[in-house]
Amino acid sequence: MVTPDNPPASPLQDLDEWEDDLLRRYPKEGEGNRKFRDYESEARPGVREFYRLNHRHQTMEFVQEKRAEYLPLNKRRMTVWEALEYLNTLVDDSDPDIDLPQIEHLLQTAEAIRRDGHPRWFILTGLIHDLGKILCLFGEPQWAVVGDTFPLGCRFSEKIVYHEFFADNPDSARPDYAS
């Protein structure tokens, strides 16, 4: 049963729905910083629900629990290439907008970075930038794995998209996190 303490594993149809929303919100090249993020733009209901769950449940306690769970690195042993191949099982074939397997997206990203003349460390970053999504294959909900990042243990910036959803985050009521 879905409750505030037991949210649905995934309010989005697939991981790409969140990325599609970001692409819609970010400006076209040359529009400048004033339009960097369109906070007033209406998002699809699934995207709003994603942010609601993400902002409600991403707490210091949650992150510390996940650190304890994943830091022993005992879930599965694999090479980076095996991890990229394993990530392909996350691709949602029902998504009409994405025909590209995850591994091809990562290779294309790395190749575009290489072609633009960036340093080798940046090419590697392009190759592995979505590997965190593999946590979904270990049972983590999308709201815990993908999405915008924000610091914890301090006051939530009003510049974070859908800032109003932090009102339901227990960390918002902690004076020691109000700085």
pLDDT at 95: 36
Q: How confident is the model at residue 146 (pLDDT cuts 50, 70, 90)?
A: confident
**165 pLDDT above the threshold of 80:** yes
The Cα 20–Cα 60 span in angstroms is: 28
**In the predicted model, what is the mean pLDDT of residues 74-96?**
79
**176 pLDDT above the threshold of 80:** yes
**In the predicted model, what is the mean pLDDT of residues 55-63?**
96
Phi-psi region of 53 (alpha: psi -120 to 50; beta: other; left: phi over 0): alpha
Whether 173 contacts 156, CB under 8 Å: no
112 vs 102 pLDDT, higher one? 112
Q: For residue 75, give the DSSP letter.
A: S
Whether 86 contacts 47, CB under 8 Å: no
Amino acid, res. 139:
G
Please state which of the ranges 93-97, 106-110, 137-141 shows the lowest mean pLDDT. 93-97
**153 pLDDT above the threshold of 80:** yes
**In the predicted model, what is the mean pLDDT of residues 125-141?**
91
Residues 6+ apart with CB under 8 A from 76: 86, 138
pLDDT at 47: 80
Q: How confident is the model at residue 142 (pLDDT cuts 50, 70, 90)?
A: confident
Q: How confident is the model at residue 9 (pLDDT cuts 50, 70, 90)?
A: low
**117 pLDDT above the threshold of 50:** yes
